Chain A
Amino acid sequence: MSGFLELVSASRIYRTIPTILAILVPAAFADKIAPELGVLILSCILIYAVASIHNAKKDNDYSLPEYYREVMIGLAAIALAIASSSRTVFFTAIAWIALGLFYNTIARRMLFGDNTVLAITHFGLPVFSSSIITGIDARTTAILTAFTFAAFWFESCFSILKV
């Protein structure tokens, strides 16, 4: 039981809240909520849990149970199954998984690699997908994506370099 609880805390899903709010920003600009946004949010939470457990194992932050790999694969499969209901969400989910792997293997060893990947996965990509789903125009999509990406890029620079 304690292994399972450790796995749940390793998923650190509360950290997806800023990303969920970022997904709602284009919805606020479009003044409407599309059902696909719910699918995007759910996929985001599940994939974040997978990446977070992978990260916890890499960093040895938590003593994870032996079945952690099966849980990761299961969560990723559920996320992809849910995401397959929409082409935009499905490609976003694939990009999230690929970038999550890239972050945990290569990006963290590169200068500004970690915060660049995090800015894409946490803000740039979800805002871009949400903009496509809500149907806002290309100019606002580009501005919102660039703005949220840049805000988080600089913010995580503060957070990583200044502490």
Chain B
Amino acid sequence: MGDISANSFELVLFVIAMILILSDKTDKKAYHNKVRLAMVLFLFGLIFGKTNNLSIILLSSAICAAYLIAMLPIEAIKNRAEAALR
């Protein structure tokens, strides 16, 4: 059982999370998604920094990856690809 002290990996994820939170807030929906993504990265960092249990690491990595895939701006990527092909 560990104490709540940050290692470098957690700190890097925390900085990324803060950048996401403090970035552009003009699009409300995109901003809410960024806040949620920031929280996911932060919690993932907290889990990753505290355990050596492989099943916990794999489970949290899979959940994190699923969230990142769900958050992919597929419509925007499709529009950009179509524009590039035109």
Q: B70: shortest Cβ distance to chain A, in Å?
A: 5
Expressed in whole angstroms, the Cα–Cα distance for A10 and B60 within the complex equals 25
With A17-B67, A31-B1 given, is the CB distance from A22 to B43 under 8 Å?
yes
Q: Does A15 contact B (CB under 8 A)?
A: yes
Partner of B46 from A20, A28, A159, A163 at Cβ < 8 Å:
A28
Pair B4/A143 contact, Cβ less than 8 Å:
yes
A14 contacts B47, CB within 8 Å?
no
A18 to B71 CA separation, bound complex (whole angstroms): 13
Cα distance A151–B38 in the bound complex, in angstroms: 11
Q: Are B36 and A15 in contact (CB under 8 A)?
A: yes
> What DSSP secondary structure best describes chain B's contact surface?
helix
Choose among A14, A29, A136, A144 the residue that contacts B67 (Cβ–Cβ < 8 A).
A14
Check B55 against A155 for contact (C-beta < 8 Å): no
Instruction: Report yes or no: B2 in contact with A33, Cβ–Cβ below 8 A.
Output: no
B79 in contact (CB, < 8 A): no
Cβ of B35 under 8 Å from chain A: yes
A95-123 interface mask toward B, CB cutoff 8 Å, 1 = contact, 0 = none?
00000000000000000000000000000
A59 within 8 A of B: no
Is the C-beta of A64 less than 8 angstroms from some C-beta in chain B? no
**Closest Cβ neighbor of B31 among chain A residues:** A163
A14 touches B1 (CB 8 A): no
A17 close to B1 (CB less than 8 A): no
Additional A-B contact list (8), CB under 8 Å, known A21-B60, A31-B56: A14-B70, A21-B40, A21-B64, A27-B56, A28-B53, A156-B35, A158-B21, A163-B28
Residues on A close to B: CB < 8 A? 14-15, 17-18, 20-22, 24-25, 27-33, 136-137, 140, 143-144, 147, 151-152, 155-156, 158-159, 162-163
Residues of chain B at the chain A interface (Cβ within 8 Å) = 1-2, 4, 21, 25, 28, 31-32, 35-36, 38-40, 42-44, 46-48, 50-53, 55-56, 59-60, 63-64, 66-67, 70
